[in-house]
Amino acid sequence: MSSVYYENLDRDRRAIRILKLLPGSWPTRIHCQLKRVLLTDTVVYEAVSYAWGDPNNTKTVLVEGIEMQVPCNLETCLQHLRKPNEALQLWVDALCINQQDLREKECQIGMMGEIFRRCTSAYIWLGVPTTIESSSKFHLELKEISKETIKHQIDPFTIIYHFAGNQHLHELSCFRSEPSKEHFLFCEDRTFKRIWESFKDALQKPWWSRFWCVQECLLPSSAVVVLGQWRVPWKTLKICQMNYERHITSCCAELSGLMPVEYIFYPDMTVVKAQLDSSHMSCIFSDISSNLDLLLRSFRYKACQDPRDKVYGILGLIDRSKYFDLVIDYSLSTTVVYINAMSAMLLDGSGDLRCLTGLGFNSHEYDLPSWVRNFGACPDLGSVSHELTRYQSYILYNASNSTNYIPVIRNKTLLCLSGNLIDKIHRVGKSIEHRSWQHIHNVLQNWSVLAEVHIPTDMSSDYFYESKVNAFWRTIVGDMLFESEQLLRRTNTEDLEALRLWIPKMVMSMKTGVEPPLEAWLTTMISFTYGRALFLTEKGHLGLCYPDCRPGDELWALHGGRVPFILMPKHHLREGSMQNDHQYKFMGEGYLHGFMDGEILQDSFSQTEEVTLW
C-alpha cells in the first residue's frame, strides 16, 4: 500500500492541513483530499473530535486517491458525516497530521487549542448505539442497518431534551401519581428502561473518557454531538445539566430520592464547565483559563495513552502568558512533566497553597515527590465532583490567618515551606468509599463511636448543642452549607438549628437503605465526607482526612494555606536529640474543627517553623 505524500508545514506561519471530505453515500468508500492553509488566514472548516479506539482496528479510506489506514471509529464517523451532494471542509487529526513525523506531531499538537478555537463548529462523534454496533449486519451492510434497525431505536438524547425543556422528574414515564395525586411512586416501566439504557449507552461511549476531548469540546464556539444518526447541540447538554441540578436540589428533591441508585448519574465535567455564551473561550469560565490547577484537577478522571498528555492536553485552554515555561516536549519524562506543572502552580506568584489540596498526592508512581500530584491517576467522576466542591469551599476558610508564602523548591524535588504545628492525629476511623446509604450509615456509626457521641433518631436541642456533639456534626458538613446548588457558605446559628432537625430524618432513611431527600444538608455532607475519614487528635479535636493518614501524622497551618495540611514525619526523633529534622511526606489537606479560621496563629505560644516536603 502506497503512502500519502505529506508536504512539509511551515511552522513559523502557523500552517495546518484541511481535509476535504468528498460527497458520497452508504456504502461507498470514503474519498478525500488534503490542502495546506495558514491559521492566520480566514479559513472555514469544522473540526472533528472522536476517540481513536484500538490502533490495530483500522479501515481504509482514499486520500488523494491513495489508500490509507485510519481508525475504524473514524471511518464510521466520516461515513455518518459525509453528505451526498456537498463536500465538507474538516480538520481531523489522524489525517491532517503526518503521524510518521514526530516533530510535526509535536508542533501540531501544540496548535490544537488554536485549531479548535478557530473552527466554525465541531462534530463530537460518540460512535454508534451499542445495539446497532453489535448487530451481525453492522460491518456488512450499514445501509440496511440504517433502514431496518435504526427505525426501532429510541432517541438516546430523550432524557437530555426532557431536562433541557425544563421538565420535572415526575413528567418522566417512570413516575406514577397516587390516587391522592399529592405523591408520586417510582415505577420502572419498559419504556423508561429503554430510554434510560439508550441514554446511559451514549454517556458511556469511550469519547467521554478521552482526555483530549476536553479542549476539543470547550474551545469551539459551537458544537454538535453525534451518535449514529442522532444529533444534539452541545449547548443543549449544558442547558440539561443546569436544569437537572436545579430540579433535583429544589422542586424535585423528594422525587430524586425515590430514584434507585442505578439511575443516578453525574454530568460530565466538560458539560459542567462549559459556557452558554457564544464567545465561549474569550472568557473561558473566567476562573479557569488563568488557573492551571483547576483545569488539571477538573478533568483528570479522563484517560489518555501517554500520561504526559494529562498536562499537555489542556495547554490550549490556559493563559500561556502566565505559564509560558510549560511547552509540549515529548523528550521529557512523565516525572519531569508533572514536577514542572506542579512547580509552575506553586511559583505563580499568588503565595497561595490551594494547588496542594485534593487527590493524587503521595503517589507511588513515576517516582514523584509526595507534594507533586500524580496527574496520571484517574479518580472516578464522583470523587472529582466532590473534590471540586471542597476546592470551592477553600476560600471560605482561613487556617493560616491570611498569611502568604512563596515556596522554595530545591533540586526540583524538595518543597520548603513555613507554618505552625497545630496537633497530631491520634485515631482514624473508617472512610466513606461509595454512595451506598447503608455503607454511609455504617461509617457514621463508626465515627460516632470514635467521637464518643451517639446518633439518635430524635435529636434534642440540649444534646445537639453539647460541645462534642456540635463539633461532630459541624465537622461532617465541613462547617458549610449549600445556599444554592452552586453556592457554598459557612454555617450560622439558624443553619445549625436546621441541621439538628434534619439529622433524624437522614438517619431514619439511611437505616432502611433509602436515599434521603436530596436537600442542601445531604449534598453538603456527601461532598465533604466522600473519600475521607474522621480522625481524633491527641488534644481531642475532630477532623476529616484522607484514609491513608495514620496516627502520629501532624496537622499544620502552612503559611499561604487556608486549610490545615497533614504531614507525616520522615524520621522519628533522632536518638539522643529532642529536635525533629522537619522533613515530611505530604499527605494532603484536611479539616480540623476549631482551627479553620487562624486560631493557631493567634495563639501567642505557637511558633512558626520551617518544614521540608520530599
Binned at pLDDT 50, 70 and 90, residue 276 comes out as low
Long-range contacts of 148-151 (CB under 8 A, 24+ apart): 150/228, 150/229
DSSP result, 266-293: PPPHHHHT---STTGGGGTTTTTTT-HH
Predicted pLDDT of residue 284: 38
* Measured distance CA(60)–CA(74) in Å, rounded: 10
Pairing verdict, β 608-613 and 583-589:
parallel
- Structure confidence at residue 181 (pLDDT): 60
Buried b (16+ CB within 10 A) or exposed e, 175-213: beeeeeeeebebeeeeebeebbebbebbeebebbbbbbb
Neighbours of 593 (CB within 10 A): 19
What number is the average pLDDT over the span 302-328?
88
Average pLDDT, the chain: 88
| Cβ contacts of 91 within 8 Å, gap of 6 or more | 16, 17, 18, 19, 45, 46, 47, 48, 115, 119
Mean pLDDT along residues 442-453: 96
pLDDT, tens digit, 9 for 90 and up, residues 524-537:
999 999 999 999 99
Please tell me whether residue 31 adopts helix, strand or coil conformation. Answer: strand
For a pLDDT cut of 70, what percent of the chain falls above it? Answer: 91
Q: Decide if 53 contacts 127 (C-beta within 8 A).
A: no
Cite the beta strand spans of 370-516 per DSSP E. 408-410, 414-431, 480-482, 488-490
In which band, very low, low, confident or very high, does the pLDDT at 82 lie, cut at 50, 70 and 90?
very high
Q: Report the alpha-carbon distance of residue 407 to residue 398 in Å, rounded.
A: 18
More confident residue, 572 or 602: 602
pLDDT of residue 580: 58
**Amino acid occupying residue 121:** S
Contact 250, 101 (CB under 8 A): no
Q: What pLDDT does 485 receive?
A: 63
Strands 58-63 and 31-38, bridge-based pairing:
parallel
Cα separation, 388 vs 157, in Å, equals 27
Find out whether 322 and 348 touch, Cβ atoms under 8 Å: yes
pLDDT tens digits, residue range 155-169?
A: 999 999 999 999 999
Higher pLDDT: 168 or 434? It is 168
Q: Which among 416, 419, 417 is positioned nearest to 400, based on CA atoms?
A: 419
Q: Hey, what's the torsion of the CAs at 587, 588, 592, 597, to 10 degrees? A: 130
Check pLDDT > 70 for residue 315.
yes
- 480-520: per-residue pLDDT in tens? 999 876 789 999 999 999 999 999 888 888 877 777 766 88
pLDDT in tens, 568-590: 998 643 444 445 578 999 999 99
pLDDT tens, residue by residue, 132-142 = 654 444 444 44
Judged against a pLDDT cut of 60, whether residue 368 lies above it is answered with yes
pLDDT tens, residue by residue, 8-37? 998 888 999 999 999 999 889 999 999 999
Residues near 151 by Cβ (< 8 Å), separated by ≥ 6? none
Q: How far apart are CA 31 and CA 84, in angstroms?
A: 12
CA distance 243 to 257: 17
- CA torsion sign for 29, 33, 38, 40 is negative
Domain regions of the chain by residue span: 15-119
d(CA 468, CA 498): 18
Please tell me the distance from the alpha carbon of residue 19 to that of residue 43, in angstroms, as a whole number: 12
Three-state secondary structure readout of 189-244? CHHHHHHHHHHHHHHCCHHHHECCHHHHHHCCCCEEEEECCEEEEHHHHHHHHHHH
pLDDT of residue 166: 96
The predicted pLDDT at position 135 comes to 45
343 has pLDDT over 60: yes
Residues in CB range of 291: below 8 A, 6 or more apart: 318
Instruction: List 437's β-bridge partners, or say none.
Output: none
pTM of the model: 0.84
Q: Specify the pLDDT at position 365.
A: 93
Separation between Cα atoms, residue 299 and residue 568, nearest integer Å = 28
Characterise 355 by phi-psi region: left (phi > 0), alpha (psi -120 to 50), beta (else). alpha
Region of poorest pLDDT, from 110-119, 246-255, 541-550, 587-596: 246-255
pLDDT digits (tens, 9 = 90+) for 391-418: 999 999 999 999 988 899 999 999 999 9
* Cα–Cα distance for residue pair 443/22, rounded to 1 Å: 60
Q: Is the pLDDT score of 435 beyond 90? A: no
Report whether 438 contacts 510 (CB < 8 A): yes
Count Cβ atoms within 10 A of the Cβ of residue 360 and give its class: 0-12 exposed, 13-18 middle, 19 or more buried: buried
CA 277/CA 136 separation, integer angstroms: 43
What is the model's pLDDT at position 573? 38
Average pLDDT rounded to a whole number, residues 261-290: 64
